[in-house]
């Protein structure tokens, strides 16, 4: 029975992604964002349980990627599509009616990211390229910031001059040859987990100070600390 538990949680991740997709199409992006957060927690739990219970299986690996493709591939693409639809402005001569479809770049590159992950033996204890849940949390934070922010947030987030380049950047980071640490603790020793502890500590502070606006900063912090860690190890 216990060997099926991680897969059951993966299915709940998929269900959360389906609900998030439903609300995204209803233009209720705040609900969609919360469901993405639930999916991210479930995605973390299924992997943790698989390790604790030693319940690894090939079907579990494939199921996890398929669930992630919905929750962290299709959903963020639709969310960006809806945000760009709200903007309703042309971008570099491209008609406003075409601009929203740029959002699906994230969906395409998420699929490439997940396919690469499944065959890349280098990503057992760390990542190469931005993980799809991190990318999706960045995207999901945008409607939450809009819902809790001021007019200036509308001027920035719903500006195609910001949102389209951001979409292209996130898509690139998904498949970039960029080593990033994973939040997997083999022990709790400081010397083995300094970067992880620093990241978690600063993240908690940012969330306490900035609420949802902290999420994009936390993703940027994650990338910067990974680069610093890689540089320090190389030297």
Q: Does 122 reside within a domain?
A: no
Q: What sign has the CA pseudo-torsion 84, 90, 96, 98?
A: negative
Q: Does 121 reside within a domain?
A: no
d(C-alpha 60, C-alpha 69), whole Å: 14
Q: What is the CATH number of the domain that holds 94?
A: 1.20.120
* DSSP character string of 143-173: HHHHHHS-HHHHHHHT-HHHHHHHHHHHHHH
Instruction: List the structure tokens of 113.
Output: 């990211």
180 φ/ψ angles, rounded to the nearest 5 degrees:
-130, 140
For residue 147, the Cα-to-chain-centroid distance in whole angstroms is 20
d(C-alpha 83, C-alpha 78), whole Å: 9
Q: Do residues 187 and 172 share a domain?
A: no
Q: Does 42 reside within a domain?
A: yes
Q: Do residues 150 and 222 share a domain?
A: no
Q: Do residues 11 and 76 share a domain?
A: yes
Q: Do residues 156 and 190 share a domain?
A: no
Q: Do residues 163 and 186 share a domain?
A: no
Q: Do residues 233 and 198 share a domain?
A: yes
Q: How many CB atoms lie within 10 A of CB 48?
A: 13
* Residues 60-80 pLDDT 10s: 788 999 999 999 999 999 999
pTM of the model: 0.93
Total of domains in the chain:
2
Q: Do residues 173 and 190 share a domain?
A: no
Tell me the H-state helices in 54-150. 58-69, 75-87, 104-119, 132-148
Residue 230: domain span: 180-235
pLDDT at 29: 97
pLDDT < 50 stretches in the chain: none
pLDDT at 2: 67
Give residues with Cβ within 8 angstroms of 201, minimum separation 6: none
Q: Does 223 reside within a domain?
A: yes
Q: Does 116 reside within a domain?
A: no
User: At 89, is the secondary structure helix, strand, or coil?
Assistant: coil
The vertex-108 CA angle with 105 and 112, nearest 5°, equals 130
Q: Do residues 67 and 144 share a domain?
A: yes
Q: Do residues 184 and 225 share a domain?
A: yes
Q: Does 119 reside within a domain?
A: no
Q: How many CB atoms lie within 10 A of CB 166?
A: 18
Q: Do residues 233 and 149 share a domain?
A: no
Q: Does 127 reside within a domain?
A: no
Q: Does 99 reside within a domain?
A: yes
Q: Do residues 22 and 78 share a domain?
A: yes
Tally helices (H) and strands (E) across the chain: 10, 2
Contact 63, 10 (CB under 8 A): yes
Q: Do residues 184 and 160 share a domain?
A: no
pLDDT at 152: 65
pLDDT at 210: 92
Quick one: which of 85, 79, 78, 74 has its CA closest to 160? 85
């Amino acid at each position: 029975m216990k060997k099926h538990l991680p897969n059951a949680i993966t299915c709940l991740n998929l269900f959360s992604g389906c609900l998030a997709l439903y609300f995204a199409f209803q233009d209720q992006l705040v609900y969609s964002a919360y469901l993405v957060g639930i999916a991210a927690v479930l995605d973390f739990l299924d992997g943790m349980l698989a390790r604790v219970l030693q319940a690894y299986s090939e079907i579990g690996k494939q199921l996890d990627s398929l669930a992630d493709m919905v929750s962290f591939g299709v959903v963020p693409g639709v969310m960006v599509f809806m945000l760009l639809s709200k903007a309703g402005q042309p971008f570099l001569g491209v008609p406003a009616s075409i601009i929203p479809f740029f959002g699906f770049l994230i969906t395409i590159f998420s699929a490439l990211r997940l396919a690469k992950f499944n065959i890349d033996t280098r990503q057992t204890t760390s990542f190469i390229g931005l993980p799809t849940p991190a990318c999706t949390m960045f995207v999901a934070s945008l409607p939450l910031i809009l819902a809790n922010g001021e007019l200036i947030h509308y001027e920035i987030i719903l500006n195609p001059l910001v949102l389209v380049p951001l979409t292209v950047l996130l898509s690139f980071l998904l498949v970039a040859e960029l080593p990033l640490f994973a939040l997997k603790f083999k022990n709790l020793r400081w010397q083995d987990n300094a970067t992880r502890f620093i990241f978690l500590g600063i993240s908690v502070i940012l969330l306490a100070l900035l609420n949802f606006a902290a999420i994009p900063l936390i993703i940027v912090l994650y990338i910067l600390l990974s680069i610093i860690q890689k540089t320090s190890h190389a030297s």
